[in-house]
């Protein structure tokens, strides 16, 4: 099956009791057993729920993977991967990371004796000197947030495999429509389902997808033991959202390209960070491992004046000033004070994340209105 067909059909079967074409919301905490000796695979809803099962199959199929596990948030999914580790283990990850991941790694898990190395992984060679027997995990995020840097998944997988380390990829920005890390050799794909998979800004959820059954069992054991599972109503909403994932992503990509080109040609705009530009430093890798370039981008204003940037963000009318991304509506965000405020300023500046950087999640509205809005806001900036 091709992607659009998978998005609509994978995991979903008519309800066995009524034939309902949509998977029902199994709003239940427990399941009645016919006898202590036989149960139907569903015992208690922390462990399993049929609405969640359908969604897990759908997300696994979208990632060309065998097993999916859903969580009450993207961070719940990430947390479960880190719980595979033990004190003394080391993780290699990038220095341009989702702020919440950086916060979890440094503020929660460093005190449990897990060591995180934050390096510029756009050059895989930077990781080589850090690899040792304690390196148990590579945590990759590509495209990165918010600077849209691209990491070559295949070359880091090659380095990790030689060392027997696991590779997990946060695939939130690309969505499975643009990139499938398991096909590039990764062991674990992580999603903030909150974003493109859900697509309608109405759910917080996370997911992991793996091919290895033993790894699935370990992750499912931690999930059931620690309990960060999503409710069935949220699973239903995401199942519904996924049915248009391919249509939404096509439009996000089309609109994204036009907005990136508009910004780049605007006299008030300085640098535009979007991997679809032929002169983006990682464009060749992006072309190789992604099917298109998406609707996420960042830019700076010429002169790097924070007041001008704030004026712009106050002047938009169709864009909404908000954290998050990947919904149908266009969002504008100020990473330094919003999504990435949990990263200390010195650390941010070192990694190229300036105070005036503006991030866009270009939605699926009509492109004339999106560009018209940015154009009038730039005039006021």
Ligand X SMILES: *Cc1c(COP(=O)(O)O)cnc(C)c1O
Please give the positions annotated as active site. Answer: 46, 98, 170, 195
- Cα 162 to chain centroid distance, Å, stands at 26
List 74, 241, 276, 335, residue binding ligand X (CB under 6 A) = 74
Whether 351 and 95 have beta carbons less than 8 Å apart is answered as yes
Is 295 one of the binding residues for ligand X (CB under 6 A)? no
Measure the CA–CA gap between 134 and 117, rounded to whole angstroms: 12
- Could you tell me which stretch among 47-55, 72-80, 234-242, 259-267 binds ligand X (CB under 6 A)? 72-80
Rounded to a whole number of angstroms, the minimum distance from the CB of residue 43 to ligand X is 27
Among 98, 118, 138, 293, binds ligand X (CB under 6 A): 98
- Measured at the CA of 314, the angle between CA 310 and CA 318, to 5 degrees, comes to 130
CB of 365 to ligand X, least distance (A): 21
Is 75 among the residues that bind ligand X (CB under 6 A)? Answer: yes
How big is the site for ligand X, counted in residues (CB under 6 A)? 16
Residue 195 binds ligand X (CB under 6 A): yes
* Identified binder of ligand X from the candidate list 51, 58, 179, 194, rule CB under 6 A: 194
SS (H, E, C) 85-134: CCCCCEEEEECCCCHHHHHHHHHHHHHHCCEEEEECCCCHHHCHHHCCCC
Measured in Å, how far apart are the chain's first and last C-alpha atoms? 48
- Give the burial class of 165: count Cβ atoms within 10 A of its Cβ; 0-12 exposed, 13-18 middle, 19 or more buried: buried
Among 100, 232, 327, 335, binds ligand X (CB under 6 A): 100
Q: Give bridge partners of residue 166 from the DSSP assignment.
A: 137
- Chain mean position to CA 222: 21
* Cβ distance to ligand X smaller for residue 70 or 377: 70
Shortest spacing between CB 15 and ligand X, in angstroms: 28
What x-and-dash track marks residues 143-172 binding ligand X by CB under 6 A? --x------------------------x-x
Work out whether the CA dihedral 164, 128, 107, 87 comes out positive or negative: positive
Minimum Å gap between C-beta 268 and ligand X is 27
**Where on the chain is the footprint of ligand X (CB under 6 A)?**
73-75, 98, 100-101, 141, 145, 170, 172-173, 192, 194-195, 204, 206
């Amino acid at each position: 099956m091709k992607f659009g067909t998978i998005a609509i059909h994978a995991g979903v079967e008519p309800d066995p009791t009524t034939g309902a074409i949509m998977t029902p919301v199994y709003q239940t905490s427990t399941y009645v057993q016919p006898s202590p000796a036989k149960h139907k695979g569903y015992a208690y809803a922390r462990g399993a729920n049929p609405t969640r099962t359908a969604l897990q199959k759908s997300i696994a199929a979208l990632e060309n993977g065998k097993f999916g596990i859903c969580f009450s948030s993207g961070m719940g999914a990430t947390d479960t991967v880190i719980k595979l580790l033990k004190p003394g283990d080391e993780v290699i990850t990038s220095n341009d990371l989702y702020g919440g991941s950086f916060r979890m790694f440094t503020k929660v898990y460093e005190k449990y004796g897990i060591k995180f190395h934050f390096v510029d992984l756009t050059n895989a060679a930077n990781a080589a000197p850090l690899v040792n027997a304690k390196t148990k995990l590579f945590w990759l995020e590509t495209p990165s947030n918010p600077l849209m840097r691209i990491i070559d998944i295949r070359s880091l997988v090659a380095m990790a495999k030689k060392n027997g380390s696991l590779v997990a990829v946060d695939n939130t920005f690309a969505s499975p429509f643009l990139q499938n890390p398991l096909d590039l050799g990764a062991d674990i794909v992580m999603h903030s389902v909150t974003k493109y998979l859900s697509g309608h800004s109405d759910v917080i959820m996370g997911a992991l997808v793996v091919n290895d059954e033993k790894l699935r069992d370990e992750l499912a054991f931690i999930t059931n033991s620690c309990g960060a599972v999503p409710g069935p109503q949220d699973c239903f909403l995401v199942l519904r959202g996924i049915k248009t994932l391919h249509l939404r992503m096509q439009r996000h990509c089309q609109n994204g390209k036009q907005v990136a080109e508009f910004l780049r040609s605007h006299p008030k705009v300085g640098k535009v960070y979007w991997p679809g530009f032929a002169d983006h430093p990682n464009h060749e890798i992006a072309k190789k491992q992604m099917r298109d370039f998406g609707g996420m981008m960042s830019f700076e204003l010429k002169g790097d004046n924070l007041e001008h940037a704030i004026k712009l963000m106050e002047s938009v009318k169709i864009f909404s000033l908000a954290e998050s991304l990947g919904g149908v509506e266009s969002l504008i965000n100020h990473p330094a004070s919003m999504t990435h405020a949990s990263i200390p300023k010195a650390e941010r500046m070192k990694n190229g994340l300036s105070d005036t950087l503006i991030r866009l999640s270009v939605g699926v509205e009509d492109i004339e209105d999106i560009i018209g809005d940015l154009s009038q806001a730039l005039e006021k900036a």
